[in-house]
């Protein structure tokens, strides 16, 4: 089984297309299947009161300046689309509002993503499900009832989906991973279940792969000390090399569950059983 590995760039590009390209390079070099971004229509996602409130950032002194400074537009996403094609890696994005999802549609992406924060946004879920593209649905902060409701929307529109077990703390403590929920979700909703992680390091993600996660998503950064709320819960390029290598090793170690004798075991059998 091939585990689909996504390096989430998210907003770790800090509004700089040059940084975004370096992160795409790192993900491609590590052997990731895809990179993921986040797309918001700032005035639709946040209230005016919130956007007008103070926040010190490299872009100014308000929340609006910070949010808009992190947002890529048409020109940047056209460049991202072309660059990913050049590098031979897929890209997709999690939309945080209906207008953002409509914006992404122009790129004819193979995948969609429902962020944990958006799992209860029915209007957005319907907009995504109508596209009938394979959709990763993160389940952080959600109850079984909320997950079930989202699943029913995707079933109604006959849209292929895959749940992703997730704990939305940034960073997440390893003891809060609760990876045994992966097989529980798989059994309860009769679907593929991946893992979206926000912990430091690679061990939890490797364990998720060993528990049968069909996809792994982790944040990628050039440097965890860079400005940004997601940087600390991200992993750096050298760790990505280690992570993807570990995931591919897990795939081989798990095998296919068929009972057969390996050539080496056949030789031992000849010696010990005659």
User: What's the CATH fold of domain 4-273?
Assistant: TIM Barrel (3.20.20)
Q: Are 220 and 243 in contact (CB under 8 A)?
A: no
Is the pLDDT at 274 greater than 90? The verdict is no
Is the pLDDT at 223 greater than 90? The verdict is yes
pLDDT score, position 273:
87
Q: Are 239 and 224 in contact (CB under 8 A)?
A: no
* Residue 181 buriedness (CB in 10 A; 0-12 / 13-18 / 19+): middle
**What is d(CA 51, CA 222) in angstroms, rounded to the nearest whole number?**
28
Average pLDDT for 234-243:
97
Residue partners of 43: CB distance under 8 A and separation at least 6: 51
Domain boundaries, the chain: 4-273
181 is written with which tokens? Answer: 């929920």
DSSP 208: H
pLDDT score, position 151:
98
Distances in Å between the alpha carbon of 43 and those of 65, 96, 119, 134, 178?
A: 12, 11, 20, 28, 35
**What is d(CA 245, CA 147) in angstroms, rounded to the nearest whole number?**
31
pLDDT score, position 40:
97
The pLDDT tens digits for 31-84 are: 999 999 999 999 999 999 999 999 999 999 999 999 999 999 999 999 999 999
- Collapsed DSSP state (helix, strand, coil) of residue 167: coil
77 is written with which tokens? Answer: 């996403």
Question: In which band, very low, low, confident or very high, does the pLDDT at 8 lie, cut at 50, 70 and 90?
Answer: very high
Q: Are 194 and 165 in contact (CB under 8 A)?
A: yes
Average pLDDT for 182-210:
97
Percent of the chain with pLDDT over 90: 96
For the chain, the farthest-separated pair of C-alpha atoms sits apart, in whole angstroms, at 82
Question: In which band, very low, low, confident or very high, does the pLDDT at 27 lie, cut at 50, 70 and 90?
Answer: very high
Average pLDDT for 164-177:
95
Query: Global pTM?
Result: 0.95
Strands 215-219 and 134-138: unpaired
Strands 54-57 and 60-62: antiparallel
pLDDT score, position 38:
98
Is the pLDDT at 140 greater than 90? The verdict is yes
Q: Please state, as a whole number, how many other Cβ atoms lie within 10 Å of the Cβ of residue 146.
A: 13
């Amino acid at each position: 089984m091939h585990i689909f590995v996504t390096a989430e760039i998210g907003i770790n590009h800090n509004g700089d297309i040059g940084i975004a390209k370096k992160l795409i390079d790192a993900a491609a070099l590590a052997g990731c299947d895809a990179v993921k971004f986040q797309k918001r229509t700032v005035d639709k996602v946040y209230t005016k009161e919130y956007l007008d409130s103070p926040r010190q950032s490299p872009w100014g002194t308000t929340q609006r300046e910070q949010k808009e400074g992190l947002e890529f537009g048409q020109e940047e996403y056209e460049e991202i689309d072309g660059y990913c094609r050049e590098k031979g890696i897929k890209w997709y994005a999690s939309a945080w509002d209906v207008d953002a999802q409509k914006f992404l549609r122009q790129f004819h992406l193979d995948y969609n993503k429902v962020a944990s924060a958006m799992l209860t946004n029915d209007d957005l879920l319907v907009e995504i499900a109508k596209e009938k593209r394979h959709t990763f649905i993160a389940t952080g902060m959600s109850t079984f009832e909320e997950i079930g409701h989202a699943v029913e929307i995707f079933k109604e529109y006959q849209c292929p989906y895959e749940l992703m077990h997730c704990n939305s703390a940034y960073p997440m403590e390893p003891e809060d991973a609760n990876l045994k929920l992966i097989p529980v979700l798989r059994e309860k909703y009769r679907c593929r279940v991946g893992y979206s992680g926000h912990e430091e390091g690679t061990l939890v993600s490797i364990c998720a792969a060993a528990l049968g996660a069909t996809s792994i998503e982790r944040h990628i950064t050039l440097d965890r000390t860079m400005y940004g709320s997601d940087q600390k819960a991200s992993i750096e390029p050298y760790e990505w090399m280690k992570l993807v290598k570990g995931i591919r090793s897990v795939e081989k170690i798990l095998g296919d569950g068929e009972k057969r004798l390996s050539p080496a075991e056949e030789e031992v059998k000849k010696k010990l059983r005659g």
